[in-house]
């Protein structure tokens, strides 16, 4: 136990006493994610704002007075120009190059057609390849639909509607808002958490074991009267703690950047919906998961001859973990099959979803924690064997 603590402290000190490693392993992941997501959110927000603040240039022809009056009440940011038939082709060219956003033409006989019950065709011209034009088209189509309904109502009265929906139904939307937000987290976070934990462990695991083999320092450790299993446990524990720091940094980065990322959508999302109990459960799952991940990475690193080889061999496992995370991303629902909770990492992803959506089943949670710990013990036994194998430890 004492030796485990000694190895743990030294491995931990190795990282925290190295400014470069602190920056690259602990600060950089969070900072990079924060900047990247904030930039992305900022870009989306700017685009949205840009379109909103754009002054639409719309050519109009024969607009009926009542529709014109209605448009005036809407306070749209628009400049109207009267349509002249002789300039038709020029206007279309201007729409094509994005100088004009929309041409809206009512037939000259529009009012008489409406009065006479004749189907009248309103013409619109726009360019879906231009963002302002597409936006203007959307705005005017909405208003034309409103106008169409008002004209139809004038003609047919209430009979026009045939039936209505939910005019007086206040309970129309039944939603548990916390759960809806939780569902959002459940779709986004499990994959990111596994990715963060894996990439954190990947950044230091190969150096700690394969690197020591490559540099010849592992032999110095192996001639001390310390059990190989104590070396294995000490290394796995310290790598796990550092990986957790690294993953926490990424997690903080994403939480801080969420408001900026979602500003365009105008949604408000907060982790406040979860209780302390939920966070404790989440933390225990993360701890069990990081131990499994570090166990896998340590075994590969002990097997590999060099850091480079270890990094290459770890990649397929990293991709596999991302695929596992992505497989649940679209459903945002945890599996109910109990055997799923015996599959390493996949069990963690599913139980994280359960926690985030407030649907934890006790047996599934316990199975995840216990099976993960059993895998960690198996990994440490394998690691111990690898440390004992002269072929593995001293192969060149």
Partner 1 sequence: MQTLEVKNIVKTFKLSKKQQKLEKTKEKLKVAVNDLSFTAYPGEIFGLLGPNGAGKTTCLRAISTLIKPDSGDIIVGGSSVVKDSMDVRGKIGFLTSELKLEDHFTPSYLFTYFGKLHGIDEELIEERKTVLFSRFGIDNFREVKVGDLSTGMKQKASIAISLVHNPEFVIFDEPTNGLDVLTARSVTDYLVELKNEGKTVILSTHILSVVDKLCDKVGIIINGKMKICDTLENVKKSHPSNDLEEIFFDLIEEDELGGNA
Which stretches of the chain bind partner 1, using CB under 8 A? Answer: 2-3, 6-7, 10, 14, 17-18, 212, 215-217, 219-227, 390, 393-394
Shortest Cβ 248–partner 1 spacing (Å) = 24
Cα–Cα distance list, 309 to 202, 204, 231, 301 (Å): 12, 14, 22, 8
Measured from the CB of residue 394, what is the shortest distance to partner 1 in angstroms?
7
Choose between 183 and 384: whose C-beta lies nearer to partner 1.
Answer: 384
For residues 3 and 284, which CB has a smaller minimum distance to partner 1 in the complex? 3
Q: Tell me how far CA of residue 195 lies from CA of 66, 243, 289, 318, in angstroms.
A: 59, 11, 11, 8
Q: How far is the CB of 291 from partner 1 (least distance, A)?
A: 23
- The closest alpha carbon to 332, from 317, 350, 314, belongs to 350
Minimum distance of partner 1 from residue 215's CB (angstroms)? 6
Measured from the CB atom, is 172 or 391 closer to partner 1?
391
Q: Yes or no: say if 169 and 134 are a contact pair by the CB < 8 Å rule.
A: no
CB nearer partner 1, residue 170 or residue 390: 390
Nearest distance from residue 295's CB to partner 1, in Å?
23
How near is the Cβ of 8 to partner 1 at its closest, in Å?
Answer: 12
For residues 216 and 266, which CB has a smaller minimum distance to partner 1 in the complex? 216
Nearest CA among 211, 274, 205, 271 for reference residue 25? 205
By DSSP bridging, strand 123-125 and strand 56-61 are unpaired
Cβ 9 to partner 1 shortest distance, Å: 9
Distance from the first to the final alpha carbon of the chain: 32
Q: Bridge-partner residues for 124, per DSSP? A: 104
**Which lies closer to partner 1 via its Cβ, residue 10 or residue 155?**
10
Please name the helix (run of DSSP H) or strand (run of DSSP E) that holds residue 354, with its range, or none. helix 346-356
How many whole angstroms separate alpha carbon 68 and alpha carbon 366?
Answer: 67
- Cβ nearer to partner 1, comparing 3 with 81: 3
The pairing of beta strand 56-61 with beta strand 78-82? parallel
Nearer to partner 1, 92 or 221 (CB): 221
* Helix, strand, coil percent content, the chain, rounded in steps of 5: 70, 5, 25
Q: Which of 250, 242, 236 is nearest to 191 (CA)?
A: 250
Q: How far is the CB of 222 from partner 1 (least distance, A)?
A: 6
Q: Which residues fall within 8 angstroms of residue 120, CB to CB, at 6 or more apart?
A: 106, 107, 109, 110, 113, 114
Shortest reach from residue 250's CB to partner 1, in Å:
25
The backbone region for 84, taken as left when phi is positive above 0, alpha when psi lies in -120 to 50, beta otherwise, is: beta
Q: Which is nearer to partner 1, 128 or 216 (CB)?
A: 216
**Residue 302 Cβ, how far from partner 1 at the closest point, in Å?**
15
Our CB check for partner 1 shows the closer of 14 and 54 to be 14
Distances (CA, A) of 55 to 47, 73, 75, 317: 14, 17, 12, 52
Residues recorded for the chain? 396
Distance, in Å, from the CA atom of 24 to the CA atom of 200, rounded to the nearest integer, reads 10
């Amino acid at each position: 136990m004492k030796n485990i603590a000694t190895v743990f402290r030294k491995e931990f000190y190795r990282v925290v006493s190295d400014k470069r490693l602190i920056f690259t392993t602990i600060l950089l992941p969070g900072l990079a994610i924060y900047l990247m997501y904030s930039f992305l959110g900022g870009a989306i927000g700017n685009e949205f704002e840009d379109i909103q603040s754009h002054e639409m240039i719309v050519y109009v022809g024969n607009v009926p007075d009542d529709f014109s009056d209605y448009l005036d009440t809407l306070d749209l940011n628009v400049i109207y120009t009267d349509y002249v038939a002789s300039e038709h082709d020029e206007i279309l060219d201007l729409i094509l190059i994005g100088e004009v956003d929309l041409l809206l033409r009512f037939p000259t006989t529009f009012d008489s057609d409406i009065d006479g019950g004749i189907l009248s065709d309103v013409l619109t011209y726009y360019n879906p390849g231009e963002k302002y034009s597409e936006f203007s088209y959307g705005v005017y189509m909405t208003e034309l639909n409103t106008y169409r309904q008002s004209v139809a109502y004038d003609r047919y009265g209430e009979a026009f509607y045939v039936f209505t929906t939910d005019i007086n139904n206040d309970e129309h939307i039944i939603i548990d808002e916390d759960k809806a937000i939780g569902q959002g987290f459940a779709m986004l976070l499990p994959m990111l958490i596994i990715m963060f934990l894996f990439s954190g462990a990947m950044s230091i695991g190969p150096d700690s074991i394969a690197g020591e083999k490559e540099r010849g320092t592992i032999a110095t450790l192996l001639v001390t009267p310390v059990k190989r299993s104590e070396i294995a446990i000490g290394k796995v524990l310290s790598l796990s703690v550092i990986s957790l720091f690294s993953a926490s940094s990424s997690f903080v980065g994403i939480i801080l950047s969420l408001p900026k990322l979602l500003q365009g959508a105008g949604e408000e999302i907060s982790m406040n919906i979860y209780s302390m109990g939920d966070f404790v459960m989440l933390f225990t799952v993360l701890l069990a998961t990081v131990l499994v991940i570090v166990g896998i990475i340590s075994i590969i690193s002990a097997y590999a001859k060099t850091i480079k080889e270890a990094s290459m061999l770890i990649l397929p496992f990293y991709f596999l973990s991302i695929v596992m995370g992505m497989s649940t991303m679209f459903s945002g629902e945890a599996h109910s099959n109990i055997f799923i909770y015996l599959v390493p990492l996949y069990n963690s992803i599913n139980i994280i979803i359960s926690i985030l959506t407030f649907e934890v089943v006790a047996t599934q949670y316990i199975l995840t924690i216990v099976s993960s710990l059993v895998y960690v013990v198996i990994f440490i036994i394998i690691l111990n064997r690898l440390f004992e194998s002269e072929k593995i430890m001293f192969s060149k």
